[in-house]
Structure 1
Amino acid sequence: MTDLPIDQGTRVTLNFALTFPDGEVIDSTFDKQPATLEIGDENLPENFEAYLMGLKAGDREVFEVPPEKAFGQHNPSNVQTFKRHEFSADMVLEPGVMISFADARQSELPGVVSRVEGDQVDVDFNHPLAGRTLMFEVEIIDVEPVSTAH
């Protein structure tokens, strides 16, 4: 157990929970194995990493994360309208169904059907948590320099 504060170049073992302010759990490691990540490895969005900076092993904190620091505000221009015939005939299209699209770089881009009306299908490409305030609870178990060999 070290007294090393979390910063760039550290490997962190932690438990975390992401919840809505009403307590609904989105994701949590508290009931599973703790997560280990390197600061800057993009396992955790940069804005969430910023909350960890300076914490040490043994620290436990809860942060309220506004949409701007979480997954952004809901952007109406990220909702696209498609024609029904652009989807395979056997595809279930109803609100809440997630569909995976390929973007211009052939990366996977998930979208959620938000509305189906006649021949029009609206697909929302906003992050499902966009526009939401989240609670980010962390328990820091260990902090070590990345260069340490195991």
Structure 2
Amino acid sequence: MAAVIEKGSRITLHFSLKLDDGSLVDTTPPGKPASLVAGDGNLPEGFEEVLFGLAAGEERVTRVPPEKAFGMPNPNNVQRVPRGSFASDVELEEGLVISFADAAKSELPGVIREFDDNVVEVDFNHPLAGRHLVFEVRIIDVQTP
């Protein structure tokens, strides 16, 4: 009997992640599958749930709600930053992703939502927060723990 994915399984797979309108968000390159360990916390809950119970050779397409993907946007994650906090040579534009250092000196990406001469509004929510996502997966190999 073929091994099925359970917590701790080492998995090799191809995947694609799309928005509801079919726009591709992420995918494994042809011939270069991804490898991961199921249940190690590196995948959002909704993606891991899709994998459990699958065996090598199986495919699945599942629509994952925001609550089980990247969460809902949190209004507290939108910050207003003084324009003077940005280097004068930084050309701001809506949608621009800028890297900030958080309190622990980790890198934190923020998206410029709007700005004027005095204030820049930066959204630190995950760019896919609030979005339903279509997760397509094809399992290549499963090694159980």
Q: Answer whether TM exceeds 0.5 for this pair.
A: yes
- CA distance in 2 between counterparts of 1:119 and 1:31 reads 46
Please name the residue that 2:120 is paired with: 121
> By how many angstroms is 1:30 displaced?
5.7
- CA distance in 1 between counterparts of 2:54 and 2:39 reads 15
| Matched residue SS, 1:36 | strand
Equivalences for residues 7-26 of structure 1 within 5 A? 7-26=6-25
The one-letter code matched in structure 2 to 1:111 is G
Over 2 Å off, 4+ runs: 40-47
- CA distance in 2 between counterparts of 1:81 and 1:30 reads 38
| 1:13–1:25 CA distance, 2 compared to 1 (3 A) | same
Deviations 1:89-112 (A, max 9, x none): 111111111111111111111101
> By how many angstroms is 1:48 displaced?
1.4
- The percentage of counterpart residues that share the same residue type is 54
Taking structure 1 as the reference length, the TM-score comes to 0.90
1:16–1:30 Cα contact (<8 Å) kept = no
My pick for the range that moved more, 120-129 or 21-30, is 21-30
Q: Which runs of 5+ in 2 are unaligned?
A: none
1:17–1:30 Cα contact (<8 Å) kept = no
| Matched residue SS, 1:128 | coil
Taking structure 2 as the reference length, the TM-score comes to 0.93
Please name the residue that 2:43 is paired with: 44
Deviations 1:115-140 (A, max 9, x none): 01231100000000011100000001
RMSD: 1.4
Please name the residue that 1:112 is paired with: 111
- CA distance in 1 between counterparts of 2:68 and 2:7 reads 19
The one-letter code matched in structure 2 to 1:78 is N
Please name the residue that 1:134 is paired with: 133
- CA distance in 2 between counterparts of 1:145 and 1:10 reads 4
| Matched residue SS, 2:50 | helix
